[in-house]
């Protein structure tokens, strides 16, 4: 029987070059798996709930970029997370039995609280604490067997497996425990050496002009001991 995968991207800005290896991996996987790829717009609100960005336009641009790199709607499902209300319903059900301590121990939680908090973002919200739980609902609502992710997302998949295990223990054998599919291409760092991310403002957009690329490249750290 064909295995099923799920993965997604947040529409918090234009796609950047750090996404290219991820998207190429998706293009290859769509021929091997029953594939579900989602623009996870609810997740965008976890760090940008005060932002009045036109998400409709960003979502359209991301969908076009996905098609441009080779994702084929005849081979995979491409959709907007918020259009499938079962994501929110399953997230609510999972929140009834998931201990807060499970969410607090996710490594990226404290890291991003510190890094994004220093930029003036107040992330002491349930939305941010609970986003791995929503992520688990995204994955398990399709009973995905595997999730293509980077190494930094492995703790999230382990949490998803724990949630599936606990649900099955309480209510019967319903959900598979998905495996992480680790991409072979290493994570591309941003211009400041951290993970390339729109949230950190250290990314080079896929649609950047030549001058914008030059400006970003000049910001790159080549010698951390040298005063910049």
Quick check: is 71 in a domain? yes
Check residue 152 and give its pLDDT: 82
Check residue 208 and give its pLDDT: 63
Q: Is it the case that residue 218 has pLDDT exceeding 80?
A: no
Vertex 34: Cα angle to 33 and 36 (nearest 5): 115
Quick check: is 83 in a domain? yes
Cα Rg, the chain, nearest whole Å: 18
> Are the CB atoms for 137 and 164 separated by under 8 Å?
no
Vertex 84: Cα angle to 78 and 90 (nearest 5): 120
Check residue 124 and give its pLDDT: 87
Quick check: is 137 in a domain? yes
* Mean pLDDT to the nearest integer, 197-211: 66
Quick check: is 138 in a domain? yes
Check residue 9 and give its pLDDT: 93
- In degrees and rounded to multiples of 5, residue 180 shows phi and psi of -85, 130
- Of the CA atoms within 13 Å of residue 161, those in its CB half-sphere come to 13
Quick check: is 67 in a domain? yes
128 confidence band (pLDDT: 50, 70, 90): very high
Q: Is it the case that residue 170 has pLDDT exceeding 70?
A: yes
Name which of 73-82, 154-163, 216-225 the model is least confident about: 216-225
21 confidence band (pLDDT: 50, 70, 90): confident
Looking at every residue in the chain, the average pLDDT score rounds to 86
> Are the CB atoms for 103 and 130 separated by under 8 Å?
yes
Quick check: is 90 in a domain? yes
Check residue 112 and give its pLDDT: 79
Into how many domains does the chain fold? 1
Separation in Å, CA 75 to CA 66, 71, 153? 13, 8, 25
Separation in Å, CA 28 to CA 24, 38, 48, 216? 6, 17, 31, 30
Residue 203 CB coordination number (10 Å): 23
Rounded to two decimals, the pTM is 0.83
Q: Is it the case that residue 227 has pLDDT exceeding 60?
A: no
User: What pLDDT, in 10s, does the model give residues 28-77?
Assistant: 999 999 999 999 999 999 888 887 777 888 899 899 989 988 999 999 99
* Mean pLDDT to the nearest integer, 20-33: 91
Quick check: is 223 in a domain? no
> Are the CB atoms for 140 and 164 separated by under 8 Å?
yes
Quick check: is 224 in a domain? no
CATH number, domain with residue 149: 3.40.50.620
Domain limits for position 24: 4-218
Separation in Å, CA 227 to CA 61, 78, 200, 224? 38, 46, 21, 8
Q: Is it the case that residue 197 has pLDDT exceeding 90?
A: no
Of residues 72 and 116, which shows the higher confidence score? Answer: 72
């Amino acid at each position: 029987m064909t295995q099923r995968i799920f993965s997604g991207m947040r529409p918090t800005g234009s796609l950047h070059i750090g996404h290219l290896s991820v998207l190429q991996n998706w293009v290859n996987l769509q021929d091997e798996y029953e594939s579900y790829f989602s623009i996870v717009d609810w997740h965008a609100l976890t760090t940008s709930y005060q932002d009045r960005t036109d998400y409709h336009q960003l979502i359209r641009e991301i969908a076009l970029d996905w098609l441009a790199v080779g994702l084929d709607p005849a081979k995979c499902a491409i959709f907007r997370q918020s259009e499938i209300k079962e994501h929110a319903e399953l997230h609510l059900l999972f929140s009834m039995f998931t201990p807060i301590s499970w969410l607090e121990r996710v490594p990226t939680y404290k890291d991003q609280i510190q890094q994004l908090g220093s930029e003036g973002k107040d992330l002491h919200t349930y939305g941010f604490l609970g986003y791995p739980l929503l992520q688990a609902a995204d994955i398990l609502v399709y009973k995905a067997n595997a999730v293509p992710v980077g190494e930094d997302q492995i703790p999230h998949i382990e949490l998803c497996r724990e949630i599936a295990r606990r649900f099955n223990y309480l209510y019967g054998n319903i959900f598979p425990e998905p495996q992480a599919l680790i991409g072979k291409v290493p994570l591309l760092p941003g211009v400041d050496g951290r993970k390339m991310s729109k949230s950190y403002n250290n990314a080079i957009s896929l649609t950047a002009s030549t001058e914008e690329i030059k400006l970003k490249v000049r910001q790159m750290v080549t010698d951390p001991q040298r005063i910049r």
